[in-house]
Amino acid sequence: MSDWRQRTQLLIGETGIRQLEQAHVLVVGLGGVGSYAAEALVRAGVGKLTIVDGDEVDATNKNRQLQALDSSIGKNKAALLKERFSDINPQAEIIALSTFLEPDAFQALLQNDRFDYALDCIDSIQPKLNFIVLVRAMKIPFIASMGAGGKMDPQKIRIADISKTRECKFAQQIKKMLKQKGIHDRVMTVYSEEIQPKESLAMTDGSRYKSSYYGTISYMPAMFGMTMASYVIRRLLGDDKKQD
């Protein structure tokens, strides 16, 4: 075992180290939530990680995204994180897909590889719906992030099935659209019960997937991502019979 995992082994044991080392986890969306979720998985010792995002770093990402620096503006988010993660754990296999996955390509990815867990860190409604419908149909264990925007109180972050979410505008939209597809539950989520202030909402200038967005604070997307990573790591270690 590498020295850098000594403290992790004290907590989860050598068996736990091996379980994480043999796991393959998929993270789609590498913004404020996904970048921190993916790094927590790497630092925990997950041996294989597929990370997906076709976006490039923008100056407005600096308030919340792990890879966003003045020096990284204009560079692909997935490629930046692959380099960073390989520097954390050179033995880990990091597969970076610098693309936005359309449904057919995403289905092919899921069919051509084995994933022990999948994290939906997508912030646009239609791609998120595509993700949830596909991984659920293929019986891949997953967890989906709901809206971290317009939230400031970390004590109100929750893990629950989407059917039990409350005070999250984003979850309300996703829930409604999933019901139209016959999906009412069995979608584990991270969300916040904090009420979003109306004044924190802004409209976009015609984005392909988003018509509006909420303001964000530095720590909330990161805490959503860390919460997701915590959930996945505990399930990979065999804690899958407990419900949060």
Domain boundaries, the chain: 3-236
What pLDDT does residue 242 have? Answer: 38
Output the tens digit of pLDDT for each of the chain's 244 residues.
Answer: 458 999 999 999 999 999 999 999 999 999 999 999 999 999 999 999 999 999 999 999 999 999 999 999 999 999 999 999 999 999 999 999 999 999 999 999 999 999 999 999 999 999 999 999 999 999 999 999 999 999 999 999 999 999 999 999 999 999 999 999 999 999 999 999 999 988 888 877 655 555 678 999 999 999 999 999 999 999 999 974 333 3
Considering only CA atoms, which of 53, 228, 62, 207 is closest in space to residue 148?
Answer: 228
Instruction: Give phi and psi for 192, each to the nearest 5.
Output: -130, 140
Alpha-carbon span 231 to 142, nearest angstrom: 10
Q: What is the pTM of this model?
A: 0.93
What pLDDT does residue 207 have? Answer: 54
Total residue length of the chain: 244
SS3 (DSSP) at 11: helix
Greatest Cα-to-Cα distance within the chain, rounded to the nearest angstrom: 51
Homologous superfamily of 3-236 in CATH? NAD(P)-binding Rossmann-like Domain (3.40.50.720)
CA-derived radius of gyration, the chain: 17
Alpha-carbon span 115 to 156, nearest angstrom: 30
